[in-house]
Amino acid sequence: MTSVRDVAADFPLLGRTVRGGKRLVYLDTGATAQKPAAVLEAERRFNTESNAAVHRGAHQIAEEATEAYEAARAAVAQFVGADFAEIVWTKNATEALNLVAYGFLNATLGRGGAEAEQFRLAPGDEIVVTELEHHANLVPWQELAAKTGAVLRWIPVTDEGRLDPAGFEVIGERTRIVAFTHASNVTGAVTDVAPLVQRARSVGAYTVLDACQSAAHLPIDLHCLGVDFAAFSGHKMLAPTGVGALYGRAELLDAMPPVLTGGSMVEIVTMEETTFMPPPQRFEAGTQMVAQTVGMHAAVDYLSELGMDRMAAHEHRLTQLMLEGLAEIPEVRVLGPASAEDRLAVAAFDVEGVHPHDVGQVLDDDGIAVRVGHHCAQPVHRAFGVHASTRASAGIYTTEADVEAFLAGLRRVVQFFRGG
Amino acid sequence: MTSVRDVAADFPLLGRTVRGGKRLVYLDTGATAQKPAAVLEAERRFNTESNAAVHRGAHQIAEEATEAYEAARAAVAQFVGADFAEIVWTKNATEALNLVAYGFLNATLGRGGAEAEQFRLAPGDEIVVTELEHHANLVPWQELAAKTGAVLRWIPVTDEGRLDPAGFEVIGERTRIVAFTHASNVTGAVTDVAPLVQRARSVGAYTVLDACQSAAHLPIDLHCLGVDFAAFSGHKMLAPTGVGALYGRAELLDAMPPVLTGGSMVEIVTMEETTFMPPPQRFEAGTQMVAQTVGMHAAVDYLSELGMDRMAAHEHRLTQLMLEGLAEIPEVRVLGPASAEDRLAVAAFDVEGVHPHDVGQVLDDDGIAVRVGHHCAQPVHRAFGVHASTRASAGIYTTEADVEAFLAGLRRVVQFFRGG
Amino acid sequence: MSSAMQQLYQQVILDHSRQRSGYGELDQPQGESFQVNPTCGDECRVQVRLDGRRLGQLGWTGRGCSISQASLSIMHEMLEGESIDDAEELGELFRELMHARGKELEPQKQEQLEDLSAFTGVAQYPARIKCALLGWMALRDAIIQAQHG
Amino acid sequence: MSSAMQQLYQQVILDHSRQRSGYGELDQPQGESFQVNPTCGDECRVQVRLDGRRLGQLGWTGRGCSISQASLSIMHEMLEGESIDDAEELGELFRELMHARGKELEPQKQEQLEDLSAFTGVAQYPARIKCALLGWMALRDAIIQAQHG
Ligand SMILES: Cc1ncc(COP(=O)(O)O)c(C=O)c1O
Ligand SMILES: Cc1ncc(COP(=O)(O)O)c(C=O)c1O
């Protein structure tokens, strides 16, 4: 077994320096992860050996491309505990979440026939989201509500930045969809999925899980979790940019009308009308991000080999270090649970009287890459009474030395802007 | 200047062998192009040096990533004769065409406010397409029509597989959208865009150009062509899979409501509602295919350096060779114009009494990669009275020797299935 | 022609693709199924009339490559008049062959396949497996329909 | 602190970000403009009252980083009471500085910028240019509104 100390060596970018020769301390994995050489190499090999249109050619390279593409689907399905045909490739998690929302819209507009009637929304139907959501799992539902006359309701967060179980009662009779995050990219809080799924099921609502952060940092099993739909992005899980996936329970994808339409997802096309293929093809219109799916295959292989459990344990230790260190700086307020339990290695925080831009700039000058802003989650920032924050987020390649460098840098920031 | 004979050496995949050591003759560029080393190298360099979330971080790598991403947009805009903010990244051309169709749908459902009213469709409004279209520029309009009550009409093809100018008269008073291909991926026919744009304008209809094949093989200038929207795919133009673009005239993109929603395309998000950024960001929700846009930048640089004019001239010569050779085989009927004028180096054809699958299989055994089937364009095949065809399509790296190998192989096919 | 192609396009396949046994519509089918191969748009329609537990009549129409046409033609030759159980068994065996990636099955199975053993080479070409199986998917469906419809 | 940071966060910037000149709403603004930096959600509102061709009163509110706050504060100090033409000229000059990638402008321009020349280092950080310019976009809009609204 590779020790975690060795892992960083697998990531070529981490060897670079920044700002005039400073060692890079990359703490922006929550935004996008770096990629191990194995992933880049798998993509390169595909591009130099087997690149061709999939599901289309009779020639050898097309056969190889098709096999690589579908093998990637099988690997990703297994990685998240889904069946092969339950995984639809998308360009990112955002597209996957939109795909579900537009599936409901299209059904509401009469597409998809009798089977799709289950997805029709009527004015006054309710869609429940949470205050913790990334904009990707909020705005598509606002839009769907506005177009269908459905009403958007939400579960509030606690002072610690977790979903407030008392708020689950907004899920009621008229609730048709419950969309919620598995892990917050701001507070790091990991959601206890079971009670939400249970409550949604008891009122006959569909569940949509934003697994963007969780699939990247925790072992996950979608069948076990029992959600109806889930979305995640390759680039957060060591895979290339440009690829993500939608999970949908087999019988739901079967019944859902397509969203993007075009080549490779049709059966018979006349000028007048078109019949569609079964899922997952029905949702994969046009030439797909084939090389990137191959990269994602290599990424989940890499993660599986390291072991998601070990990775989660390593990151848990980093979370503790980070939270302990931050707690020692009086000017710092962490936006999220103070304890590392059920929490990702993500720490968003406010520095009293210092704007996040300024915090990030000075850290950057030390080679420490963090993110500043609202991290695509304005509502949860508003809930904490701030507008923006600085966020340090770790990955499998992050070391304790990285966290210590960050904490030392942050103390210098406070000193610079507040001290003197 | 590199001679065309040298060009193939830039493409690593073309050096491989297939089916037990046979030289690869890749004639499936119409489906997807191979990638020069320069493109793969640009992507690799980005991934090992500058990979980060764009428009989001304050750190150096994020700055570099943002610069690379927007420089790619500028390069692609210039390559197709558009302004910077008129280019929206998509995963492929299919998504780009769907984006326009959903823009109209969302406007029709009341999104986008007063500015977007111009895109609202009413029952009985007409959408005009052509019989030549790839499914990507047909099915999205069928769907839009079905959802809005608009009526789909179409321009038929001539016996040669060109748009029939007599059919332009379907564009009339009620026409709101005219969607047509710049070059057919089956017949190779290049559309004379001006009269169509003129007629569409005269009735106040929007034009949508499928530039998927043309942007890959001809010099194009979208401002000159005067269309309102256009779509193209990177993977057909030597760029990686997973990236494409939508072009929209600045004032139209400005007025169009967003389609995919989520992070990086919003201004203010509350739980109740959201305001959106101006284009192009408004249409780029979530983490984009950044590394692939960098690859696309390298691809258009590579093409520009070779010169699109020279490339078109080279391909024109190949078209002539192919058409002459095919005309000499009595059993072969070409689905498309007999002359190489205004025609891409794409030859789809029928071999009397031999099914395309069988044609392709035997060619493949000789190392010749062609495509068989309906090439995502069933209606034009139906117009020719066939169900499927075999298609050989060339690219900048295709040599005369490739075309000759193909013609010789095809003669063997005919001999095998018909001769003995 | 290379030996690979000669193995793929065995004479029995070429013959059956030209002289198609059982091609045509039945008068009063009890079950029928229409199948499309979306990759290429090839189609077939298989119709059956049952005679107790036997396939009294079996007819088919459609268009496709030599592999798909020969597969349907041989299917007709081997199964018309035979029992539904035999049809199911042979179908299973053929599916097994098609997923064997070009390897022969055990000798006894290979024997049972009779003319269908000519398709052994097809299984090396993933894109063609669907061609060979299309008719058999339709047959299974048509029988179910005739039994329950 | 590194010299790069010292160049970026010059004392005049730190001072102005703490002691913000002109912060507050006007009583009866003739023009106002609200601007958001969507990357970070920072906002500012600039209000003006004209006195002929002069900026009789200029006020601003909002939240942002030290760069954006200092920029607004210095803008107020340099422009309140000055002519619209001067405001436009200074705005143009400041934009030029922000697009100079950290290089100084010609000495005479640099002099004209007065305290704003402290922002020279900001132009090395693409993500921060928007912060420095946000208030100036708002000012331009607010003046147009006051003139035509
Ligand atoms: C003419 C034409 N239009 C549209 C498309 C769709 O492009 P993509 O599959 O890259 O979305 C293609 C290629 O498949 C094409 O050839
Ligand atoms: C919790 C969460 N959901 C959704 C997303 C959206 O993912 P993407 O931008 O890859 O579509 C992200 C990342 O940005 C995220 O952290």
Residue A420 has pLDDT above 60, yes or no: no
Judging contacts by C-beta atoms under 8 Å, the chain B residues touching residue C40 are: 356-357, 372-374, 388
- If you average pLDDT over residues B272-276, what whole number do you get? 95
State the average pLDDT over residues B181-207.
98
Residue B3: pLDDT band (50, 70, 90) is low
A376 as an active site residue: the answer is yes
**Chain A interface test: which of D10, D40, D67 (most A C-beta within 10 Å):** D40
> Is pLDDT of A3 > 70?
no
A42-304 adopts what CATH topology?
Aspartate Aminotransferase; domain 2 (3.40.640)
Pocket of ligand 2 (CB under 6 A): A 92-94, 134, 136-137, 181, 185, 210, 212-213, 233, 235, 244, 376; B 263, 286-287
Q: Do domains B4-30+307-418 and B42-304 have the same CATH topology?
A: no
Give the pLDDT confidence score for residue D30 in this predicted structure. Answer: 96
Candidate from D36, D38, D127 with C-beta closest to B63:
D127
Query: What's phi and psi for D60, nearest 5 deg?
Result: -150, 155
Section C52-72 average pLDDT: 96
A417 has a chain D CB within 8 A of its CB: yes
B5 touches chain A (CB under 8 A): no
Residues 272-301, chain A, touching B (beta carbon < 8 A)? 272-274, 285-292
Size (chain A), residues: 420
Q: According to the model, what pLDDT value does residue C1 have?
A: 77
ipTM for the whole complex: 0.95
Residues 293-312 of B with CB under 8 A from C: none
Instruction: Choose the CATH number for A4-30+307-418 among 3.40.50.300, 1.10.287.70, 3.90.1150.10, 1.20.1530.20.
Output: 3.90.1150.10
Per the structure, the count of domains in chain C is: 1
**pLDDT mean over A132-153:** 98
pLDDT of amino acid A56: 72
Q: What is the mean pLDDT of residues B296-310?
A: 97
Nearest by CB: C126 against A56, A67, A266? A67
Sequence ranges of the domains in chain B: 4-30+307-418, 42-304
Backbone φ and ψ for B229, nearest 5 degrees, come out as: -135, 155
Determine the residue type at B34: Q
A382 at the B interface (CB within 8 A)?
Answer: yes
Query: Sorting pLDDT into bands at 50, 70 and 90, what band is A119?
Result: very high
What length does chain B have? 420
Distance, C-alpha B311 to centroid of its chain: 17
CA A213, CA B8: separation in Å to the nearest integer?
43
Enzyme catalytic residues of B: 376
From A40, A252, A285, A376, active-site residue = A376
**Which range, of A1-5, A360-364, B292-296, C133-137, averages the lowest pLDDT?**
A1-5
Average pLDDT for chain B: 96
Average pLDDT of the segment spanning D100-119: 94
Of A19, A362, A388, the CB nearest to D40: A388
pLDDT > 90 fraction of chain A, expressed in percent and rounded: 97
Could you tell me which chain B residue has the CA closest to the CA of D38? B267
- Binning pLDDT at 50, 70 and 90, where does residue C76 land? very high
Q: What is the pLDDT of residues A252-281, one digit of tens each?
A: 999 999 999 999 999 999 999 999 999 999
Q: Report the percentage of chain C scoring pLDDT > 90.
A: 88
pLDDT classification of B167: cutoffs 50, 70, 90: very high
Answer yes or no: is pLDDT of B420 > 70: no
Whose CA is closest to A396, among A152, A128, A39? A39
Q: Which ligand is nearest to the CA of A95?
A: 2
Nearest chain D alpha carbon to A389: D40
State the Cα angle at A145 between A142 and A148, rounded to 5°. Answer: 150
Average pLDDT over residues C47-64: 96
Residue whose CA is at the smallest distance from ligand 1 atom 7:
B93
Residue A206 CA, distance from chain mean position: 19
Per the CB < 8 Å rule, is C4 touching B361? no
Residue-wise pLDDT for B324-337, tens only, equals 999 999 999 999 99
Q: How many CB atoms lie within 10 A of CB A150?
A: 23
The mean pLDDT value for B169-177 works out to 98
Q: What is the pLDDT of residues A204-237, one digit of tens each?
A: 999 999 999 999 999 999 999 999 999 999 999 9
Which pLDDT band holds residue A157 (cuts at 50, 70, 90)?
Answer: very high
CB atoms within 10 A of CB B339: 11
To the nearest whole angstrom, how far is the Cα of B190 from the nearest Cα of chain C?
25
pLDDT of residue A55: 85
Find chains touching chain A: ≥3 CB pairs under 8 Å.
B, C, D
Cα–Cα–Cα angle for B272, B276, B278, nearest 5°?
A: 170
Evaluate whether B159 touches B185 at the Cβ level (below 8 Å). Answer: no
Residue A307 in this model has a pLDDT that exceeds 90 = yes
Ligand 2: nearest atom to the Cα of A181 = 1
pLDDT reported for residue B417: 92
Report which ligand 2 atom has the smallest distance to the Cα of B286: 9
Q: Long-range contacts for A113-120 (Cβ within 8 Å, ≥24 apart)?
A: A115/A254, A115/A255, A116/A255, A116/A256, A116/A257, A118/A255, A119/A255, A119/A256, A119/A257
pLDDT (tens digit, 9 = 90+) per residue, C8-35? 999 999 999 999 999 999 999 999 999 9
Q: CB under 6 Å to ligand 1: residues?
A: A 263, 286-287; B 92-94, 134, 136-137, 181, 185, 210, 212-213, 233, 235, 244, 376
Which ligand is nearest the CA of B260, by number?
Answer: 2
Structural domain of C92:
3-148
Confidence of residue B1 (pLDDT cuts 50, 70, 90): very low
Instruction: Compute the half-sphere exposure of residue A52: CA atoms within 13 Å on the CB side of its CA.
Output: 27
**Which tens digits make up the pLDDT trace of B74-125?**
999 999 999 999 999 999 999 999 999 999 999 999 999 999 999 999 999 9
Inform me whether the pLDDT recorded for B387 exceeds 80: yes
Give the CATH number, domain containing residue C136. 3.90.1010.10
pLDDT of residue B56: 72
DSSP character string of A24-75: PEE-BTTT-----HHHHHHHHHIIIII---TTTBSSHHHHHHHHHHHHHHHH
Mean pLDDT of B167-183: 98
What would the pLDDT profile of D59-91 be if each residue is shown by its tens digit? 999 999 999 999 999 999 999 999 999 999 999
* Burial environment of residue D107 by CB neighbours within 10 A (0 to 12, 13 to 18, 19 or more): exposed
Is 80 exceeded by the pLDDT of residue B201? yes
- CA dist list (Å): A336 to A117, B81, D6, D43: 40, 48, 32, 25
Asked whether the beta carbons of A213 and A346 are under 8 A apart, the reply is yes
Asked if C39 lies within 8 A of A56 by C-beta distance, the reply is yes
B380 contacts B187 by C-beta, under 8 angstroms: yes
pLDDT at D66: 95
CA dist., res. A264 & res. B397, Å (int): 26
Instruction: Return the beta strands (E) in A156-219 as ranges.
Output: 175-181, 206-210
Q: Which ligand is nearest to the CA of B231?
A: 1
Write down the pTM of the prediction. 0.96
Supply the pLDDT for residue A1: 44
